Amino acid sequence: MPVIARIPTPLRSLTGGSEEIALENPATVGDAIAELERKHPGVKERLLDEKGVRKFINVYVGDEDIRFLDGLKTALKDGDQLSIVPAIAGGAGGAGGAGGAGRRA
Amino acid sequence: MTSYADLIASVRKAVTEISLDEIKRRLEHKVPMLLVDVREKEEFRAGYIPGALSLPRGFLEIQAEQKLPDRKAPIVLYCAGGTRSALAAKTLQEMGYQHVETANPGFVRWKDLGYPMETPPQLTDAQRDRYGRHLLLPEVGEVGQAKLLKSRVLLLGAGGLGSPAALYLAAAGVGTIGIVDADTVDASNLQRQILHTTSRVGTPKVESAAKTIAELNPDVNVIAFKERVTSANVDRIFGGEGQGGPWDVIVDGCDNFPTRYLVNDASLFHKIPVVHGSIFRFEGQATTFRPFEGPCYRCMYPEPPPPHLAPSCQEAGVLGILCGIIGTVQATEAIKLLLGKGNPLAGRLLTYDSLGMKFRELRVRRDPHCPACGPHPTITRENGYIDYEGFCARG
């Protein structure tokens, strides 16, 4: 059973709309992201910066955030589910979405 | 034939009696027990022993399993003089309750002794009628409903998330609802912002919201802030000065990153829990931030995305009904926090995918190095709230 990566809506434009990508047998989260990048170029840049996972994106193995595991070195095993969960800000406020509760930047 | 005197005598032999002094001692030492008042509702309303649950003897058998689900729990019954509670104790024993005691004498003597008592909050007949379905829930009851009526919830945004949250919080009888929104109602809002109506297009959202809420529940006092939350006004709005006191809970239905982070940082300063909800197209997230007890928004997402990586707010679109799901999850969390009941989403991020119809739960931990709520914070009110720029440009 491979590792399943769950792709959030904002990144699905890079995966041809797929919400789940099966990965062969990545040993670590870093491997998994490399494999995602091979299959769907552009994903890596959205997930990582020079310091690692971008600070507005969380990567979970099962229900645990990899920042509290071993980061990109977190080991994966068959059947693990890798969830990519970016911060989203929408509250569906204004006419165009920028809305009235906060500042209009 | 068994006479009344014979019956009572045999009942008293079959039950365990407890003195009022012993009850008082246990209350003072916080010895775990379920104190149950078996008198009639009217008697209970005139005053009861602190912490007692009302379960009139006439409803004992019918409601026992619902109100006293644990048959092994230590239960102490009392009535006015000690007779009705003795009869009730025998019944509960017959129903399989293993640790039942009955007070002898009862509340009349308790009151004469000047022992501590409480009187239930006085709901009006109209309120008893309106909130009847809440009053039937032991987790709410008259005490909980009175708490809600005294509660103060600040809603950030009267938009997609704020609409369903406001409606349910108002319906539930949350006594004061603050609403912060600078916008006016637009026809394109009505696909999801169910506080507003077609005839109110062009009017300020806070005004429209106040109207809807007044129609729904006259018990609710709406405090309108027709402004955007900014670093300049956030302390005034969150501080509650001149608004009848501090806010108990903030329901965050904002729609941009700068405000989300500002709300987080200021809520930590004011120590107000924030129920977070956010949506994007078909997906939503909800969680609850309890200042310094659980993670905060920055523990979860340390920094906002730079503008070029933030999903375009204008073009994203959103399934209107999604707002209903996430907004009502937020309202549920707010009510639980106000009542102090249940298990809030603190430390848990609930994600909802409406297309797949899947709810998931992810763990959120406190970041020991969190710049906002960690032991050595750098983002503080004293250092000045951070103003992030450049999101969701309306172009």
> Which domains are seen in chain A, by residue range?
3-86 (3.10.20.30)
Q: Kindly state the DSSP code that residue B259 receives in the 8-state scheme.
A: H
Euclidean distance between CA atoms B384 and B370, whole angstroms = 17
Which residue in B78, B93, B92, B90 sits closest to B18, CA to CA? B78
Query: Which residues 264-283 of chain B have a CB within 8 Å of chain A?
Result: 277-283
A51 and B CB contact within 8 Å:
no
Residue A104: its chain B contacts at CB < 8 A?
228, 256, 392, 394
Euclidean distance between CA atoms B212 and B221, whole angstroms = 12
Q: Which amino acid is at A83?
A: S
Nearest-CB residue to A101 (from B181, B280, B283): B181
Task: Say yes or no for a CB contact (<8 Å) between A88 and B283.
Answer: yes
Task: Say yes or no for a CB contact (<8 Å) between A98 and B255.
Answer: yes
Active site residue B313: yes
Q: How much is the pLDDT for A85?
A: 94
Nearest-CB residue to A91 (from B254, B281, B305): B254
Residue B365: its chain A contacts at CB < 8 A?
65, 68
Write down the ipTM of this complex: 0.86
Which residue in A54, A41, A44, A51 sits closest to A14, CA to CA? A41
Euclidean distance between CA atoms B324 and B195, whole angstroms = 11
Closest CA of chain A from B228, distance in Å: 5
Query: Which residues 154-173 of chain B have a CB within 8 Å of chain A?
Result: 156-162
Nearest-CB residue to A92 (from B304, B318, B356): B318
Q: Is the pLDDT of residue A23 over 70?
A: yes
CB count in 10 Å sphere of residue B333: 26
Euclidean distance between CA atoms B86 and B168, whole angstroms = 42
Euclidean distance between CA atoms B265 and B257, whole angstroms = 12
A105 and B CB contact within 8 Å:
yes
Residue with tokens 């009502």: B328
Q: Which residue of A has its CA nearest to B165?
A: A91
Q: Which residue of B has its CA nearest to A82?
A: B362
| Helices marked H in chain B | 4-14, 20-28, 41-45, 60-67, 83-94, 107-112, 125-130, 132-135, 141-150, 162-171, 205-216, 234-239, 257-270, 297-300, 313-316, 320-339
- For residue B94, what are the CA distances in angstroms to A105, B35, B91, B124, B323? 68, 19, 5, 37, 50
Nearest-CB residue to A91 (from B159, B314, B349): B159
Euclidean distance between CA atoms B76 and B82, whole angstroms = 12
Which residue in B146, B151, B346 sits closest to B248, CA to CA? B151
Q: Which residues contact A94 (CB under 8 A, 6 or more apart)?
A: A100, B159, B183, B186, B189, B255
Q: How much is the pLDDT for B35?
A: 96
A42 and B CB contact within 8 Å:
no
Q: Is the pLDDT of residue A97 over 90?
A: no
Task: Say yes or no for a CB contact (<8 Å) between B391 and A88.
Answer: no
Catalytic annotation, pick one of B296, B313, B323, B392 = B313
Residue A14: its chain B contacts at CB < 8 A?
none
Q: Chains A, B: CB contacts under 8 A, how many? A: 194
Euclidean distance between CA atoms B149 and A101, whole angstroms = 25
- Residue A65 pairs in a beta bridge with A60
Residue with tokens 């890079």: A14
B389 and A CB contact within 8 Å:
yes
CB B51 within 8 A of CB B37: no
Given the DSSP bridges, would you call strands B176-180 and B53-54 parallel, antiparallel or unpaired? unpaired
Task: Say yes or no for a CB contact (<8 Å) between B280 and A88.
Answer: yes
Nearest-CB residue to A103 (from B181, B259, B367): B259
Task: Say yes or no for a CB contact (<8 Å) between A9 and B313.
Answer: no
Give tens-digit pLDDT for A42-58. 999 999 999 999 999 99
Euclidean distance between CA atoms A27 and A78, whole angstroms = 9
pLDDT in tens, chain B (395 residues): 889 999 999 999 999 999 999 999 999 999 999 999 999 988 998 899 999 999 999 999 999 998 899 999 999 999 999 999 999 999 999 999 999 999 999 999 999 999 999 887 789 999 999 999 999 998 999 889 999 999 999 999 999 999 999 999 999 999 999 999 999 999 999 999 999 999 999 999 999 999 999 999 999 999 999 999 999 999 999 998 778 889 999 999 998 899 999 999 999 999 999 999 999 999 999 999 999 999 999 999 998 888 777 765 556 789 999 999 999 999 999 999 999 999 999 999 999 999 989 999 999 999 999 999 999 999 988 888 888 764 443 32
A89 and B CB contact within 8 Å:
yes
Q: How much is the pLDDT for B127?
A: 96
Task: Say yes or no for a CB contact (<8 Å) between A10 and B280.
Answer: yes
Euclidean distance between CA atoms B133 and B151, whole angstroms = 19
**Band (A1; pLDDT cuts 50, 70, 90):** low
B187 burial via Cβ count (<10 Å: 0-12, 13-18, 19+): exposed
